[in-house]
Amino acid sequence: MKVKMISRNPDEYMRETKRDIHKVKRNYDPSLHPLESAREYVRALNATKLDRVFAKPFIGNLEGHKDGVSCFAKHPTSLSYLCSGSYDGGIHVWHLPTRTSIRSFVAHEGYVRGITYTPSAEHFLSVGDDKTVKVWKSQTDELDDIPVNTILSRTILTGISHHRSESIFATCGEVCSLWDETRNEPLKQLKWGVDTLHSIEFNPVETSLLASCASDRSIIFYDVRDANPLRKMVMTHRPNKISWNPMEAFNFTVANEDYNLYTFDSRRLKRPVKIHRDHISAVLDVDYSPTGKEFVSGSYDKTIRIYNAHKEHSREIYHTKRMQRVTCVGWCLDNKYIFSGSDEMNIRLWKARASEKIGALRPRERSALNYAETLKEKYAAHPQIRRIANHRQVPKYIYNNMKKHRIINEKEKKKEHNRRIHSKPGAVPFVPETRKKVIREHE
Amino acid sequence: MTENVDTKAAKHFAGCEIKVEDTKFSGEVIEAEQKPKHFRQKRNKQKKFKIDPDALQRHSRGPAVSETGVKTNLFKRKLKQKEIYLQFSNEQAARTEILRNEEEGFMEAEEGECTAEYTQSQIVQNVDITSAAKRFNLNLGFGPYRMKYTKNGRHLLIGGRKGHVAAFDWITKRLHCEMNVTEEVVDVAWLHIETMYAIAQKNWVHFYDNQGTELHCVKQMNSVNRLEFLPYHFLLASGNEVGYLCWLDTSIGEMVSEYNTRLGPVRIMCQNPTNGVLCLAGSKGVVSMWSPSTREPLGKMLCHPTSISSIAVDPKGTYMATCGLDKSVKIWDVRSLSGPTIEYKIRMPAQHMAISQKGLLSLAMGNVCEVHKKPNYVSPSHAYITQKCDDFIHGMQFCPFEDVLGVTTRKGFQSLLVPGAGEANFDALEANPFQTKSQRRENEVRALLDKIPSEFIALDPAAIGQVDVPTFKEKIDAKKQLLYLKPPTVDFKRANKMKGKGGSANTAKVKKIVKNAKKREFVKEMKGIKQEIFREHKVQSTESAEDKPKHVLDRFKSKKRS
């Protein structure tokens, strides 16, 4: 007779001393893990709830400006520094880990309209209402700040953007001017129509491409190598700011005066790829995350929203009691933080993912979080989980206005429907919403 | 990707001619060393391990989802990517099988002998010393006993009819507590950990801890016959003398559900561990399955023409075994409520049955305990192991993760060795026989966080992870309901009445107009829907020939043949 029985040696299953870690033998056979999907669902539900419990996005604020914050410049090589300008012409350079201002000086008379770092981060440039472009050293030991160079412009200046790699920068105002860092005269002036431009942005991938927003509700595209502007597109409302997708060279997003943001494919400007709704007032600034998958927008309605670049509705809304009109936003280059500057003189630091833990994670912690993340994604469509994940407590005026705008939109739709059913068939055609947003395109 | 780029580049250069100038070089040519070849090897070409297809099958969660019906290419690609991930995880899980360090038990007979001939003492002589210690008898004098092992198989709880209750670690034989509750003990059940258990006593269900201290008395569960604990739902289920089923949530102490099954006294009850459904067997030969959320059984199976004497459900949730007073044992496929897949006769009806983790079926017939192996279910003459106990058997259970069958009789408890009964490799995060106190505490918290709501108890445990597609019957019902819809009540409120523009009479008039308009619209819509349904199902509308008044001369028309 041949017999064998299960007989386990306890030494193989138990730790030798209390200082050892437990020996955990695994067997992934599904029959030993009954009720798999129900348990996963419960875990996903708990993970979603915990996500909301730990959602504390506000990190801190940078205090020091004596007037509203008008613009930012992210340091291209270091995560620790941020440069900001305000309405009174002051510029602050911030050290973010300590949240202190390490330099502050009055740079311009009137507004500081734009700041940008040079690619090497040796200097930064600022433009102001006093029609000057000033070049500043980014590291200096001297106490009084004197610009390295001051360039006088003949026209007003409202924005500045630097080329990704070369020593060219562009300013906007009455005209779009291209400058070389070493010269005091513009290399080129590009003009289309008589209207003023209020924002300009170099494409970070297709580096010689430029886009600017004009006050005649248009967006104009330029090429640095070309003598004339490339293309112009007129929208129904004024675009306030443009941000290029850093990973997809042809996509850009426009913050618009009509409470929406529009993502365009620059090869097909007739209609936006996506309309991003949810803001209840004019959107003033937009900035892409370095991954190009999401962007942040700041609005006149005193909130910041984070959108997926391909989704219509925002995934997150940030607000505080004290934050006023948000004038500028920025997404930190390590994809973890968001800056926002607002009218009430503060710059705020936020987490890009509201419930993310800051700091190093131990491997077990990370794997647990990854597991929870996967489960949340897997069961995201279940009504209870979706409800908890989407719910946000918002101020009353936001809540009421969102409701109001929903009713307004419904009314428009209903009115169009009524008009359609009471007129000759075909007289009121179906026009998709995206078709209505771009009026015309010039080449 | 690289191929694409190459072809593009080739196209790009196809147009232009490349002239190679003839260089008149007369010096010595020194050949550069060729680069080692491994630079050009593809990085992703890993060594493929051969994976046992059986193992892959064991860990598989079903066939891949087909692309048909997916409309956009993007989602097709996403689906494909997801399948790749799933395939990968399946392979990884299958590959972990080489890390298992225990092997299953077995017993083989010599030529000319059969395993059923071997007695327990013979088996004990031939196995190692630790296994031999697992065979023991307890002679106790407090009447017929009931028993339960914990989920990890380490601890044992026995309760005698005359009030004797004992909880102990049966491997080390360390006693947690022993007491006499001075009341009749009908059934016993462990709760989620080995420090707590429930005893169904003469009147009520009492909870004790492992010191023997009474923690709680649940008077809502009275005259209970059978107790079952559902560890993933934290539900203590009981069936009583009058036919009531109760589910008590032991984590919050709330009665989840309580209703009458209208089947008479509950005497035979077991749980299906894979979906948490309770299976009741009655005197009519019907097995019915119950969940706390519905008062009707989820399923009913007529299993025997006579009354049923015992049932057991396979721990994997595939099979259910029933035995009737007609002396037949039937094995059913419990997932589809169909069968019997196997049916055979035995000498006398089995009053108890148990199925082990590896699929061994044990039958208690009077004082004889027979264990049948899976392929031998059919021929009862070839039992795997036969053991004659000292008295009538009152309960039995295979010990999880051990090759042991626990049998309780009128005179006590016996632990029988059944090689090949248990799963050799446990999952320490699921049920760990060697768990320490700190591990137990951590697992308790984890289990409480993962507590499944009682509403999820249904026949198909995977329903929550699947797409909710309406069945054919539901679709038909939804259509039927359309035929009997009532016009909606109009809640009319006149918008901003200007001053001096009509009083209440005027408002009432407007209201009436709006109501009528809405009603007309509804009727029109309904007419369209009805016609659509009739057309679809080719039913003649009732408003046809029959409705016309009959003419006097119609009687002379030739009758149509239907």
Closest Cβ opposite residue A33 in set B131, B430, B432: B430
- The alpha carbon of residue B111 is apart from the nearest alpha carbon of chain A, in Å, by 9
- Quick one: B287 exposed, middle or buried, by C-beta within 10 A (0-12, 13-18, 19+)? buried
φ, ψ at A38 (rounded to 5°): -65, -40
- The alpha carbon of residue B105 is apart from the nearest alpha carbon of chain A, in Å, by 4
d(C-alpha B181, C-alpha B213), whole Å: 11
* Mean pLDDT across B248-269: 95
d(C-alpha B260, C-alpha B257), whole Å: 10
For an interface test with B, give the residue of A35, A41, A414, A422 to mutate (most B CBs within 10 A). A35
Query: Are A442 and A232 in contact, with CB atoms under 8 Å apart?
Result: yes
Look at residue B536 and give its three-state secondary structure: helix
- Full DSSP string of B168-193: EETTTTEEEEEEE-SS-EEEEEE-SS
Instruction: Identify all chain A residues contacting B105, using CB atoms and an 8 Å cutoff.
Output: 3-6
Q: Domain B119-456 falls in which CATH fold?
A: Methylamine Dehydrogenase; Chain H (2.130.10)
pLDDT by residue, tens only, chain A of 443 residues: 899 999 999 999 999 999 999 999 999 999 999 999 999 999 999 999 999 999 999 999 999 999 999 999 999 999 999 999 999 999 999 999 999 999 999 999 999 999 999 999 999 999 999 999 999 999 887 777 899 999 999 999 999 999 999 999 999 999 999 999 999 999 999 998 878 999 999 999 999 999 999 999 999 999 999 989 999 999 999 999 999 999 999 999 999 999 999 999 999 999 999 999 999 999 999 999 999 999 999 999 999 999 999 999 999 999 999 999 999 999 999 999 999 999 999 999 999 999 999 889 999 999 999 999 999 999 999 999 999 999 999 999 999 999 999 999 999 999 999 999 999 999 999 999 999 999 999 88
CB contact under 8 Å between A5 and B274, yes or no, is: no
Query: Are A122 and A138 in contact, with CB atoms under 8 Å apart?
Result: yes
How many other β-carbons are positioned within 10 Å of the β-carbon of residue B101?
12
Has residue B15 got a pLDDT over 60? Answer: no
Q: Is residue A144 part of a domain?
A: yes
- Count up the domains in chain A and report the number: 1
- The alpha carbon of residue A205 is apart from the nearest alpha carbon of chain B, in Å, by 19
φ, ψ at B223 (rounded to 5°): 40, 55
How many other β-carbons are positioned within 10 Å of the β-carbon of residue B67?
13
The rounded mean pLDDT for chain B is: 87
The residue that leads in pLDDT, B150 or B33, is: B150
Predicted pLDDT at B254: 94
pLDDT band at B20 (very low <50, low <70, confident <90, very high): very low
**Greatest pairwise CA separation for chain A in angstroms:** 106
Q: Is residue A362 part of a domain?
A: no
d(C-alpha B44, C-alpha B267), whole Å: 62
CB contact under 8 Å between B423 and A37, yes or no, is: no
Predicted pLDDT at A89: 95
Instruction: Identify all chain B residues contacting A21, using CB atoms and an 8 Å cutoff.
Output: none
Q: Is residue A297 part of a domain?
A: yes
For the stretch B205-222, pLDDT in tens is: 999 999 999 999 999 999
Q: Where are the alpha helices (DSSP H) in B69-190?
A: 73-95, 120-126, 129-132
Instruction: Identify all chain B residues contacting A25, using CB atoms and an 8 Å cutoff.
Output: 100-101, 425-428
Closest Cβ opposite residue B426 in set A27, A34, A42: A27
Length of chain B: 562
Give the strand pairing for B174-180 and B412-417: unpaired
* Residues of A within an 8 Å Cβ radius of B: 1-8, 10, 12-14, 22-43, 46, 379, 382
Q: Is residue A424 part of a domain?
A: no
**Dihedral sign (CA B394, B399, B405, B406):** negative
HSE-CB at A116 with a 13 A cutoff on CA atoms is: 23
How many other β-carbons are positioned within 10 Å of the β-carbon of residue B374?
15
Q: Is residue A21 part of a domain?
A: no
Predicted pLDDT at B3: 40
Q: Which residue of A has its CA nearest to B92?
A: A28
* Mean pLDDT across B251-277: 95
Q: Which of A375-379, B491-495, B557-561 has the highest mean pLDDT?
A: A375-379
**Residue A268 DSSP one-character state:** B
For the stretch B165-202, pLDDT in tens is: 999 999 999 999 999 999 999 999 999 999 999 999 99
φ, ψ at B374 (rounded to 5°): -55, -55
Has residue B30 got a pLDDT over 70? Answer: no
How many other β-carbons are positioned within 10 Å of the β-carbon of residue B395?
22
Instruction: Identify all chain A residues contacting B462, using CB atoms and an 8 Å cutoff.
Output: 36-37
Predicted pLDDT at B560: 66
Residue B352 zone, left/alpha/beta (φ > 0; ψ -120 to 50; rest): beta
d(C-alpha A217, C-alpha B302), whole Å: 77
Q: What is the CATH number of the domain that holds A222?
A: 2.130.10.10
Predicted pLDDT at A129: 93
Percentage of chain B beyond pLDDT 70 is 87
- Domain ranges in chain B are 119-456, 472-543
Query: Are A203 and A209 in contact, with CB atoms under 8 Å apart?
Result: yes
Predicted pLDDT at B1: 38
d(C-alpha B200, C-alpha B141), whole Å: 19
Stretch among B42-56, B137-151, B299-313 having the lowest mean pLDDT? B42-56
Predicted pLDDT at B47: 65
* Nearest partner of B205 among B173, B244, B177, B169, judged by Cα: B244
φ, ψ at A366 (rounded to 5°): -65, -45
Which residues have CB under 8 Å from A181's CB, separation 6+? A118, A123, A135, A167, A168, A169
Query: Are B276 and B290 in contact, with CB atoms under 8 Å apart?
Result: no
Q: Which domain holds residue A179?
A: 58-351
How many other β-carbons are positioned within 10 Å of the β-carbon of residue A259?
20
d(C-alpha A187, C-alpha A224), whole Å: 10
Measured at the CA of B458, the angle between CA B452 and CA B460, to 5 degrees, comes to: 105
Which residues have CB under 8 Å from B319's CB, separation 6+? B313, B331, B332, B333, B334, B341, B355, B359
CB contact under 8 Å between A38 and B232, yes or no, is: yes
Q: Is residue A176 part of a domain?
A: yes
Predicted pLDDT at B538: 74
CB contact under 8 Å between B99 and A26, yes or no, is: yes
d(C-alpha A150, C-alpha A166), whole Å: 20
For the stretch B114-125, pLDDT in tens is: 898 999 999 999
Q: Which residue of B has its CA nearest to A49?
A: B449
pLDDT band at B561 (very low <50, low <70, confident <90, very high): low
d(C-alpha B225, C-alpha B202), whole Å: 9
Helix (H) or strand (E) holding B408: strand B404-409
Flag whether residue B460 sits within 8 Å of chain A, measured between CB atoms: no
d(C-alpha A157, C-alpha A172), whole Å: 6
- The alpha carbon of residue B5 is apart from the nearest alpha carbon of chain A, in Å, by 18
d(C-alpha A106, C-alpha B109), whole Å: 98
d(C-alpha B329, C-alpha B323), whole Å: 4
Predicted pLDDT at B484: 83
When computed from its CA atoms, the radius of gyration of chain A, rounded to whole angstroms, is 27
Q: Is residue A136 part of a domain?
A: yes
Flag whether residue B213 sits within 8 Å of chain A, measured between CB atoms: no
How many other β-carbons are positioned within 10 Å of the β-carbon of residue B70?
15
Q: How many helices (H) and strands (E) does chain A have?
A: 4, 30
Has residue B351 got a pLDDT over 90? Answer: yes
CB contact under 8 Å between A22 and B130, yes or no, is: no
For an interface test with B, give the residue of A1, A2, A3, A385 to mutate (most B CBs within 10 A). A3
pLDDT band at B23 (very low <50, low <70, confident <90, very high): very low
Flag whether residue B110 sits within 8 Å of chain A, measured between CB atoms: yes
Flag whether residue B114 sits within 8 Å of chain A, measured between CB atoms: no
Q: How far apart are the first and last CA of chain B?
A: 69
Specify the long-range contacts of residues B518-523, CB closer than 8 Å, at least 24 apart: B518/B487, B518/B488, B518/B490, B519/B487, B522/B487, B522/B488, B523/B487
**Which residues in A130-247 belong to E strands, given as ranges?**
132-137, 149-152, 157-162, 168-173, 176-180, 188-190, 197-202, 209-214, 218-223, 231-235, 239-244
Has residue B22 got a pLDDT over 60? Answer: no
What is the distance, to the nearest Å, from the Cα of residue A219 to the centroid of all Cα atoms in its chain? 19
d(C-alpha B528, C-alpha B363), whole Å: 64
Flag whether residue B61 sits within 8 Å of chain A, measured between CB atoms: yes
- The alpha carbon of residue A207 is apart from the nearest alpha carbon of chain B, in Å, by 22
Size of interface A-B (CB pairs under 8 A): 145
Amino acid occupying residue B543: E
